[in-house]
A = this chain, B = another copy of it.
Amino acid sequence: MDKPLSFAEENYLKHIFALSEGTEDTVNTSALAKQIKIASSSVTDMLKRLGEKELIDYEKYQGVRLTSSGKRVAVNIIRKHRLWEVFLVEKLQFSWDEVHEIAEQLEHIRSPKLTTRLYEYLGRPKFDPHGDPIPDENGDFPETRRQILSEFKVGDSVSILGVNDDSPEFLQYLKQENIGLGSTLHIDKILAHDKSMQLSDANNKIIMLSNISCQHIFCKRL
């Protein structure tokens, strides 16, 4: 009985993976409950089941950690999610903010051959429309080192992929300067004395950003 995993199980694994990125720590029940937006009693239920299937290591009250087989599943879901996002943006002209919800559905389509064909069709992309790395067929993530704005040179045009610092202050500041995800900026000059950047936006409005600010913004060259 190699029954396929349910969508629910796949989603739990994906979220456990997401929450354990960075830290070596175990993921705790309430963090998961919050992330998945579900009662923590339900999470406990599911963790028991995933534990029995050896997709996670779980001992009550001890938090949870993916086994290698659980990780394999999680990474595959993420791979499919991000490939479909690329498809939606590149081939069907969706904008970056519309694709996540649809990819939440498409990521559960089960057909290894489809995944492979899609990957080829899209030209073996390494990053999704939000700049997130797409694991390859072996589950290996590309060198992710996303470039920060301060690494670019005068004359480059970049588009904003995300931020490194999601504090309310910083985000408010960016919003006030009219910088958001997807914005396009051109680097006019870099002041020698403090490495601050003078940029112009799509409307040719001039924006000055300190080097510190520039280190908190992920971009890609256009």
Contact = CB atoms under 8 A, between A and B. Distances in A.
Of A101, A109, A110, the most chain B CB neighbours within 10 A belong to A109
Interface stretch (A44-52, A71-79, A88-96): A88-96
A25 interface: no
A105 interface: yes
A118 B118 CA distance: 15
A113 interface: yes
Number of copies: 2
Interface in A56-89: 88
Q: Interface range on chain A: under 10, 10 to 19, 20 to 34, or 35 or more?
A: 10 to 19
A140 interface: no
A110 B102 CA distance: 8
Contact of A118 (B92, B113, B114): B92
Q: How would you classify the secondary structure of chain A's contact residues: helix, strand, loop or mixed?
A: helix
Nearest to A114: B102
A165 interface: no
Given A102-B109, A106-B109, A114 B88 contact: yes
A106 B101 CA distance: 15
Contacts of A137: none
Contact of A117 (B92, B113, B117, B121): B92
Contacts of A54: none
9 contacts: A91-B121, A92-B114, A92-B117, A92-B121, A94-B113, A101-B111, A102-B109, A102-B114, A105-B110
